[in-house]
């Protein structure tokens, strides 16, 4: 071992401080970013043991417990709802089930919430990139009711609207319409949360999704008819929300109808030299997942976690590698992202997991690592505060300890790759960047951290490489 753990942590501390300064100085260079497609209202409820047990006892504990073992993946009764919540707590896993019944939707509304936040990857990133980083941001909102528009913070956040034939950009609050409220009910629980004899191995959330628009990747008229004009106004684009697609719908349309439109958008973005990032959320349907891998060559960059990477490896690799990826060890993950780059030719892959991030790029640049470090600070700030309001919140995260367990991986990487230095490895035609992340021990909430990581890294890398 070259340095002691203490020395390594000190080296990373210096890299963190420099990365923060470099990123913050460069971010004003970004002239415009587009975020599409999923925006919704997240209502957040922090679960209370007594309340939850009372509600479950009222409807019958046995029937709810049956759902824990045989998950329905969708909600048309209270048993499904509470069974889903308990399953998520038991496994400590994030889950999202669609609410089919109007009666349950009413129940969820009446149950109430602690906080309202803008939701959906696009919505969350808009408040961060526009509201905190002050980058001019165009965001797609499938619906724009007042309740949702009011959740966008002030700042250069815009939705396109038609004034006659002309496309104008205005803040969502200036374009409110009497449209549907697309509500996702998010039930958060901390590590160790106990209900009956079930205990959460880690903090996480269960989402009851009562939103018929994002479920079909509904695109509003301005995006269907005015996309070329939108593409001309930005330098960067982040695409998300395609994870919900199904093979076919009751009206005879299929996922292909949506993907054709997405591909035409990507063609426009590429025509105007807009760099695009795809946020690869977990996609349950295997065929849709295959098709999403198929469109990756049209993107500049992709972001994913271990579950998403394993689900891709199941298709382009084999079961053994997929299993190893899920276990989180760094070498199989490096093999998997190299495989993904071989298969798709995409130029940048950003992998994030609890404790460390990797970025594999077809180019060499220290800014790739600095962007990951900046993203790790943003993630820690998001975990601490729930909502990042100012860049100072991100600076505060410099005091969060760096994950010591990832330092073991760093040592292993150093043994394997002799030219490994300051988190960067030259792999002949590719560069691999590795950073140990900041970990917040008792996060306020977990939703949206992944979005914060991927968007912060993508835009800050672009900004720093531009300057
Ligand atoms: P996702 O799995 O895409 O929702 O993103 C979650 C990511 O958030 C993980 O991969 C971690 O990197 C990060 N994360 C989760 N919990 C914490 C925490 N307590 N402190 C810092 N980062 C976290
Ligand atoms: C999913 C959920 C949404 C949440 C987002 C956070 O898109 O549907 O409610 O805000 O994930 O990443």
Same domain, 316 and 350: yes
Q: How many CB atoms lie within 10 A of CB 227?
A: 21
Structural contact between residues 452 and 382, judged by C-beta atoms closer than 8 angstroms: yes
Q: Starting at the edge strand that comes first in sequence, how are the strands of the sheet with 74-75 ordered? A: 74-75, 95-99, 204-210, 183-189, 40-46, 115-119
| pLDDT interval class at 3 (50, 70, 90) | confident
Q: What pTM, to 2 d.p., does this model score? A: 0.96
Same domain, 298 and 355: yes
Give residue 252 CA to ligand 1 midpoint distance, Å: 38
How buried is 367 (Cβ within 10 angstroms: 0-12 exposed, 13-18 middle, 19+ buried)? Answer: buried
Give residue 448 CA to ligand 2 midpoint distance, Å: 7
Establish whether residue 304 lines the binding site of ligand 1, counting it when its CB lies within 6 angstroms of any ligand atom.
no
pLDDT tens by residue, 278-309: 999 999 899 999 999 999 999 999 999 999 99
* CA–CA distance, 467 with 457 (Å, rounded to integer): 16
Structural contact between residues 276 and 247, judged by C-beta atoms closer than 8 angstroms: no
Residues annotated as part of the active site: 451
pLDDT tens by residue, 147-173: 999 999 999 999 999 998 899 999 999
Position 445 scores a pLDDT of 83
pLDDT tens by residue, 170-195: 999 999 999 999 999 999 999 999 99
Establish whether residue 380 lines the binding site of ligand 1, counting it when its CB lies within 6 angstroms of any ligand atom.
yes
Ligand 2 binding site (Cβ under 6 Å of any ligand atom): 38, 40, 42, 96, 119-121, 124, 184, 207, 209, 447-448, 450-451
- Percentage with pLDDT > 90 across the chain: 93
pLDDT at 460 over 70: yes
Position 418 scores a pLDDT of 84
Tokens standing for 2? 């070259």
Same domain, 324 and 424: yes
Position 165 scores a pLDDT of 86
Same domain, 352 and 445: yes
Give residue 120 CA to ligand 2 midpoint distance, Å: 4
Give the closest residue (by CA) to ligand 1 atom 14: 354
Q: How many CB atoms lie within 10 A of CB 228?
A: 14
List Cβ neighbours of 372 (8 Å cut-off, separation of 6 or more). 350, 357, 359, 423, 433, 435, 457
pLDDT tens by residue, 71-96: 999 999 999 999 999 999 999 999 99
Beta strands 74-75 and 137-139 are unpaired
Give the count of domains, the chain: 2
* Domain region containing 375: 2-40+119-180+213-466
Q: How far is CA 123 from CA 34, 71, 283, in A?
A: 11, 29, 19
Give the closest residue (by CA) to ligand 1 atom 11: 354
- The 10 Å CB-count burial string (b at 16+, else e) for 181-211 is ebbbbbbbbbeebebeeeebeebbbbbbbbb
The kind and range of the H/E element at 460 are: helix 449-466
| Backbone dihedral angles phi then psi of residue 153, each to the nearest 5 degrees | -80, 165
Ligand 1 closest atom vs CA 94 = 4
pLDDT tens by residue, 7-37: 999 999 999 999 999 999 999 999 999 999 9
For ligand 2, mutation pick of 121, 281, 284 (most atoms within 8 Å of CB):
121
DSSP secondary-structure letter at 421? B
| Sign of torsion over alpha carbons 258, 261, 266, 267 | positive
Same domain, 381 and 424: yes
Give residue 448 CA to ligand 1 midpoint distance, Å: 9
| Three-class DSSP category at 334 | helix
Tokens standing for 135? 């980058």
Select from 192, 210, 228 the last residue of a domain.
210
Average pLDDT on 321-340 reads 96
Same domain, 106 and 195: yes
Give the closest residue (by CA) to ligand 1 atom 3: 450
Establish whether residue 309 lines the binding site of ligand 1, counting it when its CB lies within 6 angstroms of any ligand atom.
no
Same domain, 53 and 162: no
Residues, the chain:
467
Same domain, 154 and 194: no
| pLDDT interval class at 271 (50, 70, 90) | very high
Give the closest residue (by CA) to ligand 2 atom 3: 120
Return the CATH number at 301.
3.40.1190.20
Q: How many CB atoms lie within 10 A of CB 436?
A: 24
Establish whether residue 124 lines the binding site of ligand 1, counting it when its CB lies within 6 angstroms of any ligand atom.
no
Average pLDDT on 242-259 reads 92
Same domain, 447 and 402: yes
Q: How many CB atoms lie within 10 A of CB 299?
A: 22
Half-sphere exposure of 422 (CA within 13 A, CB side): 14
Quickly list DSSP for 118-132.
EESHHHHHHIIIIII
Ligand 1 closest atom vs CA 281 = 3
Ligand 1 closest atom vs CA 442 = 19
Structural contact between residues 223 and 138, judged by C-beta atoms closer than 8 angstroms: no
- Beta-ladder partners of 46: 188
Give the closest residue (by CA) to ligand 2 atom 11: 120
Give residue 456 CA to ligand 1 midpoint distance, Å: 13
Same domain, 21 and 112: no
* CA–CA distance, 107 with 75 (Å, rounded to integer): 12
Position 60 scores a pLDDT of 94
Give residue 241 CA to ligand 1 midpoint distance, Å: 19
List the single range of 188-197, 267-276, 349-358, 440-449 with lowest mean pLDDT: 440-449
Tell me which residue has tokens 């950073």.
435
Q: Which ligand sits closest to the CA of 128?
A: 2
Ligand 1 closest atom vs CA 450 = 5
**Please, what is the average pLDDT of the chain?**
96
Q: Where are the beta strands (DSSP E) in 232-273?
A: 236-239
Same domain, 348 and 409: yes
For the chain, what is the radius of gyration of the CA atoms? 22
**Closest of 162, 273, 254 to residue 216, by C-alpha:** 254
Average pLDDT on 407-416 reads 93
pLDDT at 386 over 70: yes
Average pLDDT on 373-401 reads 96
Return the CATH number at 185.
3.30.1110.20
| pLDDT interval class at 2 (50, 70, 90) | low
Q: How many CB atoms lie within 10 A of CB 381?
A: 30
Establish whether residue 68 lines the binding site of ligand 1, counting it when its CB lies within 6 angstroms of any ligand atom.
no
Establish whether residue 353 lines the binding site of ligand 1, counting it when its CB lies within 6 angstroms of any ligand atom.
yes
Same domain, 389 and 263: yes
Beta strands 424-427 and 430-436 are antiparallel
CA 417 to chain centre: 30
Establish whether residue 379 lines the binding site of ligand 1, counting it when its CB lies within 6 angstroms of any ligand atom.
yes
Q: How far is CA 415 from CA 12, 124, 246, 405, 410, in A?
A: 18, 39, 45, 16, 9
Structural contact between residues 234 and 137, judged by C-beta atoms closer than 8 angstroms: no
Structural contact between residues 118 and 141, judged by C-beta atoms closer than 8 angstroms: no
Give residue 108 CA to ligand 2 midpoint distance, Å: 17
* CA–CA distance, 306 with 309 (Å, rounded to integer): 5
Establish whether residue 352 lines the binding site of ligand 1, counting it when its CB lies within 6 angstroms of any ligand atom.
yes
Ligand 2 closest atom vs CA 117 = 10
Q: How far is CA 300 from CA 273, 343, 350, 428, in A?
A: 10, 14, 11, 20
Give residue 363 CA to ligand 2 midpoint distance, Å: 31
């Amino acid at each position: 071992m070259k340095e002691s753990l203490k020395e390594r942590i000190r080296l990373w501390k210096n890299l963190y401080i420099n990365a923060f300064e470099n990123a913050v100085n460069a971010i004003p260079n970004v002239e415009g970013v587009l975020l599409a497609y999923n925006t919704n209202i997240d209502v957040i409820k922090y679960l209370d043991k007594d309340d939850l047990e009372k509600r479950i006892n009222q409807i019958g504990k046995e029937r709810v417990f049956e759902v824990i073992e045989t998950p329905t993946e969708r909600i048309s009764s209270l048993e499904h709802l509470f069974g889903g919540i308990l399953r998520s707590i038991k496994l400590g896993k994030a889950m999202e089930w669609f609410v089919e019944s109007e009666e349950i939707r009413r129940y969820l509304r009446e149950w109430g919430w602690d906080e309202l936040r803008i939701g959906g990857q696009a919505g969350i990133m808009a408040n961060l990139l526009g509201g905190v980083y002050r980058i001019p941001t165009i965001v797609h909102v499938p619906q724009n009711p007042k309740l949702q528009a009011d959740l966008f913070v002030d700042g250069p956040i815009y939705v396109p609207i038609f004034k006659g034939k002309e496309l104008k950009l205005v803040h969502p609050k200036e374009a409110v319409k009497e449209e549907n409220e697309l509500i996702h009910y998010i039930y958060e629980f901390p590590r160790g949360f106990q209900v009956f004899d079930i205990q959460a191995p880690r903090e996480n959330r269960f989402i009851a999704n009562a939103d018929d628009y994002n479920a079909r990747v509904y695109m509003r008229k301005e995006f269907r008819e005015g996309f070329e004009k939108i593409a001309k106004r930005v330098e960067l684009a982040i695409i998300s929300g395609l994870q919900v697609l199904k093979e076919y719908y009751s009206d005879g349309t299929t996922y292909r109808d949506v993907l054709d439109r997405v591909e035409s958008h990507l063609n426009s973005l590429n025509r105007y030299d807009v760099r695009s990032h795809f946020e690869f959320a977990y996609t349950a349907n295997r065929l849709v997942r295959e098709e999403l891998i198929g469109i990756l060559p049209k993107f500049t960059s992709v972001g994913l976690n271990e579950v998403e990477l394993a689900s891709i490896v199941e298709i382009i690799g084999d079961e053994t590698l997929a299993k190893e990826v899920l276990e989180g060890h760094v070498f199989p993950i490096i093999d998997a992202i190299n495989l993904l780059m071989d298969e798709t030719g995409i130029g940048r892959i950003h992998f994030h997991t609890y404790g460390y991030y990797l970025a594999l790029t077809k180019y060499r640049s220290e800014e790739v690592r600095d962007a990951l470090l900046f993203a790790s600070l943003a993630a820690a700030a998001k975990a601490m505060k729930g909502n990042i309001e100012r860049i100072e919140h991100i600076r505060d995260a410099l005091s969060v300890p760096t994950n010591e367990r990832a330092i073991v991986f760093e040592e292993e990487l150093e043994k394997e790759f002799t030219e490994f230095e300051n988190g960067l490895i030259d792999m002949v035609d590719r560069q691999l960047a590795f950073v140990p992340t900041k970990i917040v021990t008792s996060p306020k909430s977990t939703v949206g951290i992944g979005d914060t990581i991927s968007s912060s890294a993508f835009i800050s890398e672009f900004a720093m490489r531009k300057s």
